[in-house]
Structure 1
Amino acid sequence: MKRLFFLIFLFIVPSKISFSQEVKKPIDNKYLFNPYADAQKALNDALMAAQKAHRHVLVVVGGDWSFWSRKMYGHLTRNHQYYNNYELVFINFSPVNKNETILNQLHVPKDQGYPILIVLDENGNPLLTTDTDDLKLNPRAYDDDLLATFTEKWLTYKSNDKK
């Protein structure tokens, strides 16, 4: 009897376990600054959306390797006051993909720290390229008020405005 119970257990329980397992979908984007993304396409898509919505584009150049890049990503995607006012583009810069072509096209300086913020008007004209040192509250965090002031200020600039 014990043997029969054991055989039934061996055949029934594993089959139920195997049918009850959920198939997990692979993570679509495990990167914040995806080194495998087509940065040129992302920028072109953002510019098309910006033209339709009459918004500026905020390009953030950085990488998952950078503490400050990850912090900036969190601030911009967590706080809707920033996200709703700009078309956001996150461009990777890392040993895996330096995105040299698009970064040269955007005139990104190679001697600045990361992340680098680039504000483009709806037509793709550059309004500002800067690092984020002036937006830091302390050695571990960005200041929400400084970031809000920054995004509000550049939101209204046009390519022919004086800075």
Structure 2
Amino acid sequence: MKILVQKEDFDLDAEVRELRKNSSVGAVVTFLGTVRDLNDGKDVSGMTLEYYPGMTEKALTKIAKQALERWDIEDVTVIHRVGELRVTDQIVLVGVSGKHRGEAFDACEFVIDYLKTEAPFWKKETLPEGERWVEARDSDETAKERWD
């Protein structure tokens, strides 16, 4: 299990290679979140991500451990960036390796659904007219609830 919260970018190919290192791995599923240029009908030129050091890593570790206990998977990687990001920058990687694709897909989706609602991150978007904090979405809570 790998859990990182960092300002630096990450190498997606290297992370996938790391998830594939075990010879029993038959599937690697990844979710890559990036900064987009439009949100809720507003042009976005960048984003600042803040977090609660220590508490955020603890929350991410708990989520990854739940996935490892719930599904027959080999490994979980979660890397989440913080600080100032530009449009198209990588924000978050969730990677899951396992013997079979079904378990890996479910576990990956579970991790990102819980990350969006349970990990203490705050996003501030930069718009032409200024900055705004991004509110929690009801759809994220609904996505998480299906795993209960």
More strand by share: 2
Q: TM-score over 0.5 for the alignment? A: no
The normalised TM-score by structure 1 is: 0.32
The normalised TM-score by structure 2 is: 0.34
More helix by share: 1
Higher relative contact order (CA 8 A, sep 6+): 2
